[in-house]
Protein backbone atom coordinates (compact mmCIF):
# COMPACT_ATOMS: atom_id res chain seq x y z
CA UNK A 1 0.00 0.00 0.00
CA UNK A 2 1.22 3.52 -0.76
CA UNK A 3 2.47 5.45 2.29
CA UNK A 4 0.43 8.61 2.85
CA UNK A 5 2.81 11.52 3.11
CA UNK A 6 2.04 14.67 5.09
CA UNK A 7 2.01 16.77 1.93
CA UNK A 8 -0.80 14.63 0.48
CA UNK A 9 -3.10 14.83 3.50
CA UNK A 10 -2.59 18.28 4.99
CA UNK A 11 -5.17 21.07 4.83
CA UNK A 12 -2.73 23.96 5.11
CA UNK A 13 1.04 24.02 5.33
CA UNK A 14 2.26 25.86 8.43
CA UNK A 15 5.67 27.13 7.33
CA UNK A 16 6.37 29.42 10.28
CA UNK A 17 5.71 32.88 11.65
CA UNK A 18 7.21 35.54 13.84
CA UNK A 19 9.78 38.30 13.97
CA UNK A 20 11.80 38.77 10.80
CA UNK A 21 14.98 39.72 12.67
CA UNK A 22 14.64 37.22 15.49
CA UNK A 23 16.91 36.73 18.43
CA UNK A 24 15.76 33.11 18.62
CA UNK A 25 14.29 30.69 16.15
CA UNK A 26 12.21 28.03 17.88
CA UNK A 27 11.94 24.83 15.89
CA UNK A 28 9.30 22.23 16.66
CA UNK A 29 8.37 18.95 15.06
CA UNK A 30 5.49 19.64 12.72
CA UNK A 31 1.96 20.99 12.62
CA UNK A 32 -0.80 19.28 14.60
CA UNK A 33 -4.55 19.43 13.97
CA UNK A 34 -5.03 23.08 14.94
CA UNK A 35 -1.92 24.21 13.07
CA UNK A 36 -3.12 22.31 10.01
CA UNK A 37 -6.51 24.03 10.22
CA UNK A 38 -5.01 27.53 10.62
CA UNK A 39 -1.77 27.26 8.62
CA UNK A 40 0.13 28.66 11.61
CA UNK A 41 2.70 26.94 13.83
CA UNK A 42 2.14 26.17 17.51
CA UNK A 43 -1.40 27.52 17.90
CA UNK A 44 -2.98 24.55 19.73
CA UNK A 45 -2.63 23.67 23.43
CA UNK A 46 1.08 22.97 23.17
CA UNK A 47 1.52 26.25 21.30
CA UNK A 48 -0.22 28.19 24.01
CA UNK A 49 2.14 26.66 26.56
CA UNK A 50 5.12 27.42 24.30
CA UNK A 51 4.05 31.07 24.16
CA UNK A 52 3.89 31.16 27.98
CA UNK A 53 7.30 29.50 28.30
CA UNK A 54 8.81 32.02 25.92
CA UNK A 55 7.10 34.94 27.64
CA UNK A 56 8.64 33.84 30.95
CA UNK A 57 12.05 34.70 29.52
CA UNK A 58 10.90 37.78 27.59
CA UNK A 59 10.59 36.12 24.22
CA UNK A 60 7.60 36.32 21.91
CA UNK A 61 6.74 35.52 18.31
CA UNK A 62 5.37 39.09 18.14
CA UNK A 63 8.71 40.73 18.79
CA UNK A 64 11.88 38.67 18.95
CA UNK A 65 11.24 35.03 18.01
CA UNK A 66 10.44 33.14 14.87
CA UNK A 67 8.54 29.86 15.25
CA UNK A 68 9.03 27.11 12.71
CA UNK A 69 8.88 23.35 12.41
CA UNK A 70 11.06 20.63 10.98
CA UNK A 71 8.20 19.63 8.66
CA UNK A 72 5.71 22.10 7.31
CA UNK A 73 2.76 19.76 6.74
CA UNK A 74 0.89 17.76 9.39
CA UNK A 75 1.79 14.07 9.38
CA UNK A 76 -1.52 12.15 9.44
CA UNK A 77 -2.62 11.22 13.00
CA UNK A 78 0.37 13.15 14.38
CA UNK A 79 2.77 10.33 13.64
CA UNK A 80 6.50 11.13 13.65
CA UNK A 81 7.55 12.61 10.30
CA UNK A 82 9.07 10.09 7.91
CA UNK A 83 12.75 10.62 7.05
CA UNK A 84 11.63 11.46 3.47
CA UNK A 85 9.43 14.23 4.88
CA UNK A 86 12.15 15.79 7.03
CA UNK A 87 14.47 15.51 4.04
CA UNK A 88 11.90 17.20 1.77
CA UNK A 89 11.55 20.13 4.21
CA UNK A 90 15.23 20.40 5.19
CA UNK A 91 16.12 22.93 2.48
CA UNK A 92 13.12 25.05 3.42
CA UNK A 93 14.15 25.13 7.08
CA UNK A 94 17.78 25.79 6.20
CA UNK A 95 16.71 28.71 4.01
CA UNK A 96 14.50 30.07 6.78
CA UNK A 97 17.47 30.04 9.17
CA UNK A 98 19.94 31.57 6.74
CA UNK A 99 17.53 34.33 5.71
CA UNK A 100 16.30 35.16 9.22
CA UNK A 101 19.79 35.02 10.77
CA UNK A 102 18.66 34.32 14.33
CA UNK A 103 21.28 34.50 17.09
CA UNK A 104 20.14 31.28 18.79
CA UNK A 105 18.32 28.11 17.88
CA UNK A 106 15.94 26.48 20.37
CA UNK A 107 14.77 23.00 19.41
CA UNK A 108 11.48 22.01 21.03
CA UNK A 109 11.35 18.28 21.55
CA UNK A 110 12.93 15.02 20.49
CA UNK A 111 12.11 15.07 16.79
CA UNK A 112 13.43 18.60 16.23
CA UNK A 113 16.57 18.00 18.30
CA UNK A 114 17.37 14.64 16.72
CA UNK A 115 16.67 15.87 13.20
CA UNK A 116 18.76 19.01 13.52
CA UNK A 117 21.65 17.31 15.31
CA UNK A 118 21.42 14.22 13.05
CA UNK A 119 21.45 11.86 15.99
CA UNK A 120 19.22 9.27 17.63
CA UNK A 121 20.27 10.15 21.17
CA UNK A 122 17.31 10.60 23.52
CA UNK A 123 16.07 14.11 24.24
CA UNK A 124 16.96 13.66 27.91
CA UNK A 125 20.62 13.50 26.84
CA UNK A 126 20.43 16.25 24.21
CA UNK A 127 18.71 18.93 26.27
CA UNK A 128 20.14 21.26 28.83
CA UNK A 129 23.48 22.20 27.29
CA UNK A 130 24.47 24.54 24.52
CA UNK A 131 25.83 23.00 21.38
CA UNK A 132 26.78 24.52 18.05
CA UNK A 133 24.82 23.91 14.89
CA UNK A 134 26.13 24.78 11.45
CA UNK A 135 23.46 25.79 8.97
CA UNK A 136 24.62 26.97 5.57
CA UNK A 137 27.50 29.34 6.26
CA UNK A 138 26.46 30.11 9.84
CA UNK A 139 27.34 28.36 13.09
CA UNK A 140 24.85 29.18 15.80
CA UNK A 141 24.45 28.34 19.49
CA UNK A 142 21.85 25.58 19.78
CA UNK A 143 19.83 24.44 22.78
CA UNK A 144 17.30 21.62 22.94
CA UNK A 145 14.53 21.29 25.47
CA UNK A 146 11.40 19.21 25.98
CA UNK A 147 8.43 19.73 23.70
CA UNK A 148 5.58 21.65 25.38
CA UNK A 149 3.23 18.76 24.50
CA UNK A 150 5.50 16.48 26.58
CA UNK A 151 5.21 18.93 29.50
CA UNK A 152 1.42 18.75 29.22
CA UNK A 153 1.63 14.95 29.51
CA UNK A 154 4.29 14.77 32.20
CA UNK A 155 4.52 17.39 34.97
CA UNK A 156 7.95 16.07 36.00
CA UNK A 157 9.48 17.53 32.87
CA UNK A 158 8.47 21.08 33.78
CA UNK A 159 11.39 21.69 36.12
CA UNK A 160 14.15 20.61 33.70
CA UNK A 161 12.42 22.58 30.92
CA UNK A 162 12.47 25.65 33.16
CA UNK A 163 16.20 25.10 33.77
CA UNK A 164 16.69 25.05 29.99
CA UNK A 165 14.77 28.29 29.57
CA UNK A 166 16.83 29.98 32.30
CA UNK A 167 20.00 28.81 30.57
CA UNK A 168 18.81 30.32 27.30
CA UNK A 169 17.92 33.58 29.05
CA UNK A 170 21.37 33.78 30.65
CA UNK A 171 23.02 33.30 27.24
CA UNK A 172 20.82 36.01 25.73
CA UNK A 173 21.69 38.37 28.58
CA UNK A 174 25.39 37.61 28.22
CA UNK A 175 25.24 38.41 24.53
CA UNK A 176 23.38 41.67 25.19
CA UNK A 177 25.87 42.91 27.77
CA UNK A 178 28.79 41.62 25.68
N1 LIG B 1 3.83 20.71 17.75
C2 LIG B 1 4.87 21.06 16.98
O3 LIG B 1 5.94 20.50 17.07
N4 LIG B 1 4.70 22.08 16.15
C5 LIG B 1 3.56 22.76 16.04
O6 LIG B 1 3.49 23.68 15.24
C7 LIG B 1 2.49 22.35 16.85
C8 LIG B 1 2.63 21.34 17.70
Contact residues of ligand 1, CB 6 A cut-off: 14, 28-32, 35, 41-42, 44, 46-47, 69
Mutate to test the pocket of ligand 1, among 6, 69, 71, 86 (most ligand atoms within 8 A of CB): 69
Backbone angles phi, psi at 89, to 5 degrees: -95, -5
pLDDT in tens, 74-105: 999 889 999 999 999 999 999 999 999 999 99
CA of 12 to the centre of ligand 1 (A): 14
Question: Counting atoms of ligand 1 from 1, which one is nearest the CA of 112?
Answer: 3
Q: Which of 140, 141, 145 is nearest to 164 (CA)?
A: 145
Identify which of 13, 147, 148 to mutate to test ligand 1's pocket (most ligand atoms within 8 A of the CB): 147
In the predicted structure, residue 178 carries a pLDDT above the cut 80:
no
22-47 pLDDT, tens digit each: 999 999 999 999 999 999 999 999 99
User: Residue 148 CA: which ligand 1 atom is closest?
Assistant: 1
State how beta strands 16-18 and 65-69 pair: antiparallel
User: pLDDT (tens digit, 9 = 90+) per residue, 134-169?
Assistant: 999 999 999 999 999 999 999 999 999 999 999 999
Q: What pLDDT, on the 0 to 100 scale, is given for residue 6?
A: 86
Torsion angle defined by CA atoms of residues 70, 100, 23 and 153, in that order, rounded to the nearest 10 degrees: -10
Q: Pocket of ligand 1, candidates 32, 33, 37, 96: which has the most ligand atoms within 8 Å of its Cβ, to mutate?
A: 32
CA distance 71 to 145: 18
Amino acid sequence: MQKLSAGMTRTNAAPGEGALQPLVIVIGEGPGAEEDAQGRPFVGRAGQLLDKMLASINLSRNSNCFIANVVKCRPPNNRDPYPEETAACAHFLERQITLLKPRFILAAGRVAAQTLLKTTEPIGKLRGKFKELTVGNMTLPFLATYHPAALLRNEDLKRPAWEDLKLLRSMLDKERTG
